Every structure is written in C-alpha cells, then in structure tokens.
Amino acid sequence: MKLLENAIETNELTRRFNDLVAVDKLNISVEQGEVFGLLGPNGAGKTTTISMLCTILKPTSGSARVNGFDIVKQDTQVRKSIGIVFQDPSIDDRLTGKENLYMHANLYGVPPGEQKPRIDRVLKLVELETRADDLLRTYSGGMRRRLEIARGLIHYPKVLFLDEPTIGLDPQTREHIWSYLEDLRKAHEITMILTTHYMEEADRLSDRIAIMDYGKIVASDTPAKLKDTLEGDVITIKTKEAAKLSSVIAGTPSVLKIDAVDEGLDLTVRGGKALLPRIVETAAKNGIFVESVSLREPNLADVFLHYTGREIRAEGGDELHGLSAIRRRRIK
Amino acid sequence: MTELRGIYTLWLREVKRYIRDRARIVSSFVQPLLWLVIFGGGLRFSASALQLGNLTYEQYIFPGIVGQTLLFTSMFMGISVIWDREFGFLKEIMVAPISHFSVFIGKMLGDSTDAVIQGILVFALGALLGPTLGIALDPTIFLEALPIMILITFGLVSVGLTVASFIESLESFGVIQSFINLPLFFLSGAIIPLRGNVPSWLQIASSFDPLTYGVDALRTIVGGNAWQPLHPLYFNLLIICIFDIVMIIIGTLAFSRRK
C-alpha cells in the first residue's frame, strides 16, 4: 500500500484527431515529488498527452487523475493544482514583462503581498530585470521564452508541466533554468512532468524517463537503467597488434563482444570504467603496445535511437504538416 | 476573492491594450463623423417623409450613431478572442484556475469598457458639433445615457465574444461580423424609423433586434419631449437586461467548450 497518492495516474488514456491516434492507450503513473521526463520525436504525442493532463484537450477515451482529481470531471481542481510552461508562446505582447507576470500571479491567486518578491525573484533568475518594464513585442524570442518560464514558476504548483522548457535557448540560460528547477524541486517537493528533445536535459533533471513514440510508451525507467539496457560500454583500443590483443582478452567474462576495426579493436563491455585499466595492464604484460584507448558510455541518445529507431529532430517534425500541426496545439 | 481578482486582471488587460492602441482611438471618430455630417446632412431635407416626431434628421440619427458605434465596436471586440487564440495567450487564460464564467465576465467587462469609451467619444463629438447640427446635449443627458450605453454594450460584446469563440480565423470573423452588424444596425431604427407606414414584417423583424430597444432608450433621453418613444423606458431597459443575461449565459457556455 502506498502512503501517498500518485501525482499523475493515467488509465488507457487515448486521444484521436480524426484518423490519427495521437495518444494510444497510455498508462503512466508519476509519484509525488518525482521528475518525470517524456522523451520522444516530434509528433510522438508528448504535447497531446500534456494538453490532456492540463485539461486543455478532452481525451477520446480512457481517463487520468492529476493530484487525485479527474481531468474531465474535476477540471477546475486540476487547474488549481498545476502550473504549465507551454511549448508555444502564450504571452501577451502588448503588455510589459512585469504586467504579464502580475496578471499570471493574480489569475493563480498568489497573495498580493507575496507577488512582488516572487516576481522580482523570477525576473532575476531569467535575467530580465532591466527589461521588465518594456513591452513584450520588443523582446527577442529567447527573452520571451525566459519570461514564460519565469511565469510558470511564480505560483508554486504541486505539479509543474514543462513542455520543451528550454527549446531555443542559449546554453547559459538553459544551465540557469535547470539549476533553478533543481532547487525549486528540492525546496518545494514539486512534481515535474518534462517533455524534451534534449537528451542532456532529460538525463539531468529526470528521475524517470518514458520514451514515447507513435502515441505509446516504448520504454520507461530511470535514466541509468535505460542506459544499462543497452548492454554495455564501448572501449576503443588503438594498437598495431590487434589480433594478438584480441586472443589475450577473449574469454574475459565482462567483455561481451570484440570487433576488429581500423588500427585496433572495439570492445563492447560491461563496467567499462573498471575494466579499462585491467585491459591496458593485460596488454602491457603480454608485451602489446597500446597507442591509445577511449571509453564511451551509452547516452540517452543511444537509448532513444535504440527504441525509436530514428534520429531525434530538434525542430519541425514531418509527421504532421502545416495546418494539422497547428490545429493540434490550439485550443478550440 | 480569487475569482474577483481574476476578473479584475482580465478587465485591466483589455483596457490597457485598448488605451495603448492610439490609432484605434483616433480612427474611432471618423466613422460617426461621416454618418452625422455627410449622411445626416445629405438626407436632412429628404427626411421629412420619415416619422421623426419633432426631431430634425440629425437629432434623430445621433442616438442611432451612438448605438451603431457601440454595436460595431462590440462586435469588433470579438476579434480579441481570435487574436488570443492565434497568439497562444488564450491557453494561459483557459488553464488558469478561475472559472470559465469569470474568464468570460472579465473579458466581457474589459471589452465593454473599450466599447463604451468609443461611445463616450461619439457623445463628445456630438457635443462639439451640437451647435452646428442642432443637437442639444448637456451633462445631465450624458449621465442619463451612460448607464443605457453600458447595459446595451454588455449584451452586444457578449454576442461578439460568443461568435468569435466558434470561429477559427480572422478572415471568416470579418465576414460573419458584417452579417451580424448590418442587419442589427438597419433594423434598430438607428437611421430609419421603422414605424408608421413601414411594412409590418419589417416592424416585426425590428422588434427582435436588441439594439432597437437600446436606440429607443437613448433617443428617449437625448430627444426629450420631441421624441415619441416606441416603448416606455423601463420596458426598453428590461428587454436589454434580459438580452444581457441570456447572452452572458450563452457566452459562458461557449467559452467552456473544450475539445
């Protein structure tokens, strides 16, 4: 028996757009305080999933609960308990940065006395203090994005949805936002649902990652375990005596596979870090001269490709074209 | 309390956006001016066949032009819903933890404030041109007319918002808008009195136009004893209030739809 109710629980959650099944019988559960990364190519159904959980879209079938509230029957309670950073712009460009933030604080019932300190703090975080009183239409794309993230953090929601939060931002700003998200979570135990194209973002922030493709979860686990499922690290050894080395290390239990490559060997191994010095030692004992070695641990991108079989595309998916892509994101 | 603060916030946003749009405020003078001076002046002498009571044609159409300004501006305000959807801002509002009723009321009050300001500007224009056109306006008349302008605007803005919430693009909203604007305008008796020897089907159609009651009420105030009203003032106000309530309910329902 669990002590705490799950922050998110979906049951065969499905959404169709005419013939297209965007989300197909999705079953996920996210514990309170967990950071859950939803990773997938464009058009995989990540945004549709989030839109349903945020009560923007109605599911075609199935159900889901957010903070214990049904997303269809108790949508107001759901909306009270969540915060969202949308993938697409959702700020008023005729207002100033500060006006946008105050409006949000008021809409989300932040007590008037707390509004100013919180707004000053988030403005500082995204380094927009000096531009806070300028109209949004004078902001660059990156500045608008930063303001939206600041906005999503003003009220401290129990569940924060981040749909591609750092897309299109420069590395410094991303780093700032990531560490703020980490702090925020430590201080307030906020559950976060994150969709992203960036492997490093998912890897760094998420406790658990679900890889989504064609509306389904194809794999779900901690980043470390997902990487482990790829069965091992790759050690590349450059040497002129590849055949000799190969016969010496063949049979070592944690060496899974030996491939001869140009000027050396590619070893697929378990526990590469610990094994690497042993292999070099063995080579030396047998009088084999090793020119260079390198170790590569599998990253999430490898995991992603393993499960989805295609490269992640940072912008502009080709599953949906033009209007249908826009329509899916719009509220009607 | 949260709901009230939400309503206030949404109201403030609409008003700020409007006040910052100088071009719109300046251009709002042009259309009423054309109607009053060119249309009113041009028809002045041929209007004797119309049932104007004891009013001159300019005196007759002035309340009508105020009503027309409220109508056109209110309908135009619907466009803000389409803009907000196009630019994504509607999402921010719709997922906020305030009721769709409050969202609708906040937006409606904000847009109504903008529309009523336009109406007040026409009133100011009337006062300015009054001596030339023979329209007598004083502060008392203005203060009596203002609540009527506000009341009729609530309903008209609600129509604009409701229609806009069903429409996807700016282009089709423009077309639909004139489909609604022109019949409501012509049937309201704003520029042609629909009484006496006017065909009875037209009079019946006119009685279904909410603006008829607004214009009649405004004319009762502005025209004074020279105008024989279609209905008593209290009756006009009652109809307008019913129209407002019905439209606010429909508008809230339209805003609450989600796919």
ipTM of the complex: 0.82
Give the whole-number percent of chain A exceeding pLDDT 90.
Answer: 17
Which tens digits make up the pLDDT trace of A232-246?
A: 788 888 888 888 888
Strands A255-261 and A233-239: unpaired
- CATH code that applies to domain A231-297: 3.30.70.260
For residues A298-315, average pLDDT = 67
For residue A86, the chain B residues in CB contact (below 8 A) are 88, 91-92
For residue B87, the chain A residues in CB contact (below 8 A) are 89-90, 92-93
- The pLDDT, as a whole number, for residue A1 is 45
- The pLDDT, as a whole number, for residue A321 is 40
For residue A72, the chain B residues in CB contact (below 8 A) are none
Question: Are A95 and B258 inside 8 Å of each other by CB?
Answer: no
Domain A8-81+157-227+304-329 has CATH 1.10.3720.10: no
Smallest Cα distance from B103 to chain A, Å: 10
Smallest Cα distance from A79 to chain B, Å: 5
Q: How far is CA A80 from the centre of its chain?
A: 24
- The pLDDT, as a whole number, for residue B157 is 95
- Does residue A293 register a pLDDT over 50? yes
For residues A45-60, average pLDDT = 89
Residue A127: pLDDT band (50, 70, 90) is confident
- Does residue B243 register a pLDDT over 90? yes
Nearest to residue A56, comparing CAs of A72, A69, A43, A70? A72
- Does residue A318 register a pLDDT over 60? no
Show me where the domains of chain B are located. 2-256
Question: How far apart are the C-alpha atoms of B218 and B230, rounded to whole Å?
Answer: 12
- Does residue A141 register a pLDDT over 60? yes
Averaged pLDDT score across all residues of chain B: 87
Question: How far apart are the C-alpha atoms of A70 and A9, rounded to whole Å?
Answer: 10
Residue B119: pLDDT band (50, 70, 90) is very high
B18 → chain A, closest CA residue: A94
Give the whole-number percent of chain B exceeding pLDDT 90.
Answer: 41
Q: In whole angstroms, how far apart are CA A150 and each of A139, A189, A316, B214?
A: 15, 18, 25, 46
Residue A302: pLDDT band (50, 70, 90) is confident
Averaged pLDDT score across all residues of chain A: 82
Which tens digits make up the pLDDT trace of A147-168?
A: 888 888 888 788 989 888 888 7
Residue written as token pair 């401290």: A156
Which tens digits make up the pLDDT trace of B73-100?
A: 999 888 888 888 888 888 888 888 888 8
Smallest Cα distance from B9 to chain A, Å: 6
Residue A314: pLDDT band (50, 70, 90) is very low
Question: How far apart are the C-alpha atoms of A19 and B101, rounded to whole Å?
Answer: 33
Show me where the domains of chain A are located. 8-81+157-227+304-329, 231-297
